[in-house]
Amino acid sequence: MKVIVILVSLFLSSVSIAENICPEPKDKGWDRLPEAAYHPAAVKKSLNNLDRYFSGELIVAEEFIEQNMSTIRGGFLYKEMQELKDDPKYFQYAKESFCKFMEKNAYLVH
């Protein structure tokens, strides 16, 4: 029984992550990133990556820094949108900002 509960919860969590807030992008290139790339866990990983770089633990190319900075920016917009979901006026503005970011900036840096 526990296995069934775990499997159902895993399925439901992946479904909720897969929900897109923004419309499907016109450009579906190989380098386009999903909205999940800007969820809090991804931002925390980027912050950790930058901390490791600045502590001297990593030696990286400039693209590595740019990618992590882009993730942090998108994550900020995503979090702002989530925090405003109970206020329709401000939520709509935050959603437009996040979706505009997704349209123009949600790519791998290369």
21, 99 Cβ separation under 8 angstroms = yes
CB atoms within 10 A of CB 9: 10
Percent of the chain with pLDDT over 70: 84
Give CA–CA dist 35/61, Å, rounded. 24
For the stretch 59-103, pLDDT in tens is 989 999 999 999 999 999 999 999 999 999 999 999 999 999 999
Nearest one of 45, 53, 104 to 72, comparing CA atoms: 45
User: Residue 9: is its pLDDT beyond 80?
Assistant: no
Distance CA 21, CA 12 (A): 17
